[in-house]
Amino acid sequence: MNIEQHISEVVLRTVAALYGEVAPAQIQIQKTRKEFAGDYTLVTFPLLKASRKSPEATATEIGERIVAENVEFSAFNVIKGFLNLSLDASFWGERFAEIAATDDYGQAAPTGRNIMIEYSSPNTNKPLHLGHIRNNLLGYSVAQILKANGHNVIKVNLVNDRGIHICKSMVAWLLYGNGATPESTGKKGDHLVGDYYVEFDKHYKAEIKQLVADGMDEEEAKKKAPIMLQAQEMLRKWEAKDEEVRALWEKMNGWVYDGFDVTYKALGVDFDKVYYESQTYLLGKSIVQEGLDKGIFFRKEDNSVWIDLTADGLDQKLLLRGDGTSVYMTQDLGTAMQRFEENSLDDMIYVVGNEQNYHFQVLKLVLKKLGYEWSDNIYHLSYGMVELPEGKMKSREGTVVDADDLVAGMIATAREMSAELGKLDGCTEDEANSICTMVGLGALKYFILKVDPKKTMLFDPRESIDFNGNTGPFIQYTHARICSVLRKAEEQNIDYKSANALAEYLPEEIEIIKTLCDYPSVVAAAGEQFAPSLIAAYTYDLCKLFNGYYHDHSILREECNETKCMRLRLAAQVARVIARSMRLLGIDVPQRM
């Protein structure tokens, strides 16, 4: 049952009986603020024209009639023009029974909407790092949340596998690699290739320094450094499909893909389709020609193609270079059209850092000017950078925190802290490994996803594994605690699942049921706002509420069998909703801990 909709219907009938028919839009229902008694609040100001009475008198009259004629309402109070309505314990008991009887609680009915979400988008010249982790976790979680909202979701990755940055790693490997391979070095392929990207930068800087010392201007030195000229020549050969260069490119990219796959598996993210820039970078040239034909784009003297967006408060944007080569915008115009046409998309979401805000603003505007109405359904899910207590990261200088190293470090920290707290007592080595992996990754994912994506965040590994704060391990421990209680109940042969429903509930139990009732609306809001942080906040509040209740009230030692069974059923539904909500964040929850 949609509770707010039910209350709106009751209010609509009551208002019609008292004052005559009013439009449904005039019925404004919201949750009662915590400082006031009540569950839901009616705003009476839109109804004063119909009642011809003061706000207080209108609210009192409606409240009296609702409580008199509807058994599910137990009380009301009036604060100025606001009518606060309280629902009876039996009403919440019925809602609890509905939750327990719904196998896929929180899963919306199919909408038929096709939504594509692009995330990860790595370069094949280096391993994934902490910034990529936020991108991947955010993209995967939003995909899970959109699925829970009933949409058909297509998860895609666009790999940046060509360009000057790729050639830098290739040149450095040829010059300094001595034929090194992942097998000969024992290194993951993406880490090996990343080492040569750093190596290139080291030699490039040394060459610039030498050229400047020999009397050359620094800007000129940057252009004429021999190693940079070699990288540029390699790119030209690649674009000319030179067999030797292409063979090296395929070999080194293959190493990187193997490495990426290991990292993706460790993070628990996947894709339905992978696009490669080498296959898409020429897309969009026909769209550029279309824009020229329509007079929307223009050529400059050097033959480059531009669009003038100054009238829209932006600037002129390059769409095709003078030599006919494409830029990122050319490619994105082409891939957007290809994706919408091939997949009958209703929405396209790009998970990309906030440094690309302007790029996506231009992309939507250009497509709109070309007459593609679906451009309104492109959304840039922009996110802020992740920083460590030590400061910012730089790929070229090798100061980036590799994703693999961070995951391994999180698991090691989880083991250390779990052992200190006795969480691994009695566990076999396999059980301890499984729990520490689950806790370490859960800590990492939750800490990142609980923050609004738009905010730049500071990631502190040890803080993220606190078992008592707003953390993944706290939530995981709550789930494990409930599972332990349910296991003991089964060992004692307590048949709590088929016991009769109970009409009597403590206020704390009603609060837990109310919070469980909120779950579908939280999932809906998270889907509308592309905000895993809403799921994280909800789950933390539910766990905090249950832990407070568990501290104050015994479950297995409760003497009344009916009450004991009700409390076990309540605990079981809390655990189920915790597991479902954490799954939306890509986080596993342990049965034991």
Task: State whether 310 and 225 are in the same domain.
Answer: no
For residue 358, being part of any structural domain is answered with no
For the packed helices 328-343 and 285-293, what is the interaxial angle rounded to 10 degrees?
100
For residue 140, being part of any structural domain is answered with no
pLDDT in tens, 253-296: 999 999 999 999 999 999 999 999 998 888 899 999 999 999 99
pLDDT of residue 394: 47
Cα 78 from Cα 36, distance rounded (Å): 10
Give me 250's structure tokens: 């395929």
For residue 369, being part of any structural domain is answered with no
380 has pLDDT over 90:
yes
501 has pLDDT over 70:
no
pLDDT of residue 385: 87
**How many structural domains is the chain composed of?**
4
15 has pLDDT over 50:
yes
pTM across the whole model: 0.92
Mean pLDDT in residue range 25-47 = 95
For residue 41, being part of any structural domain is answered with yes
395 has pLDDT over 50:
no
| Count of Cβ atoms closer than 10 Å to residue 373 Cβ | 8
Q: Which of 484, 499, 398, 408 is nearest to 97 (CA)?
A: 499
For residue 223, being part of any structural domain is answered with yes
Interior CA angle at 292 toward 288 and 297, to 5°? 85
Q: In the 8-state DSSP scheme, what is residue 109?
A: P
Task: State whether 454 and 485 are in the same domain.
Answer: yes
397 has pLDDT over 80:
no
Task: State whether 292 and 233 are in the same domain.
Answer: no
Task: State whether 221 and 316 are in the same domain.
Answer: no
pLDDT in tens, 567-579: 999 999 999 999 9
**Going edge to edge, which strands form the sheet with 298-299?**
298-299, 305-308, 316-320
**Domain assignment of residue 466, given as a range:** 409-584
Task: State whether 310 and 262 are in the same domain.
Answer: no
Cα 283 from Cα 264, distance rounded (Å): 28
391 has pLDDT over 70:
no
For residue 402, being part of any structural domain is answered with no
Task: State whether 434 and 578 are in the same domain.
Answer: yes
For residue 137, being part of any structural domain is answered with no
For residue 591, being part of any structural domain is answered with no
Give the CATH number, domain containing residue 472.
Answer: 1.10.730.10
* Residues whose CB is less than 8 angstroms from the CB of residue 168 and which lie 6 or more positions away in sequence, other chains included: 125, 196, 197, 200, 201, 231
Task: State whether 290 and 262 are in the same domain.
Answer: no
pLDDT in tens, 345-364: 999 999 999 999 999 999 99
Task: State whether 309 and 245 are in the same domain.
Answer: no
Contact 24, 3 (CB under 8 A): no
pLDDT of residue 396: 44
